[in-house]
Amino acid sequence: MERYWVSEPAVGIPRRSTLLSQAGADGRQAARQLAQLLRYKTPAQYDLAPLPERDATKAIELARRLVERAAQVNARRRPPS
């Protein structure tokens, strides 16, 4: 089975986190977390063996942090009602 990792994009396809990393301090931190999270995607999706509990827990934590950061950024952008 061929695998594609964030650090080794297919030819002509930019790294998924590149654009995000250009979005200020929040974007740089989110890009790092997204890159870490995407390392778990292919094994979780295609491997026959289940993802080890430690890896699954780490992936959930990374996703939670990304959602929290997005909510914080979104809250800062919203004009007061």
Q: What is the pLDDT of residues 11-36, one digit of tens each?
A: 444 555 566 677 778 888 888 888 88
27 Cβ contact partners less than 8 Å away, ≥ 6 residues apart: 20, 21
What percentage of the chain reaches a pLDDT higher than 70? 70
Domain-wise residue ranges, the chain: 18-77
Would you state the pLDDT for residue 53?
92
pLDDT greater at residue 54 or residue 80:
54
Query: Look-up: residue for tokens 């999270």?
Result: 37
48 φ/ψ angles, rounded to the nearest 5 degrees: -70, -35
Rounded CA separation 77/64 (Å): 20
Would you state the pLDDT for residue 46?
86
Please give the mean pLDDT across all residues of the chain.
Answer: 77
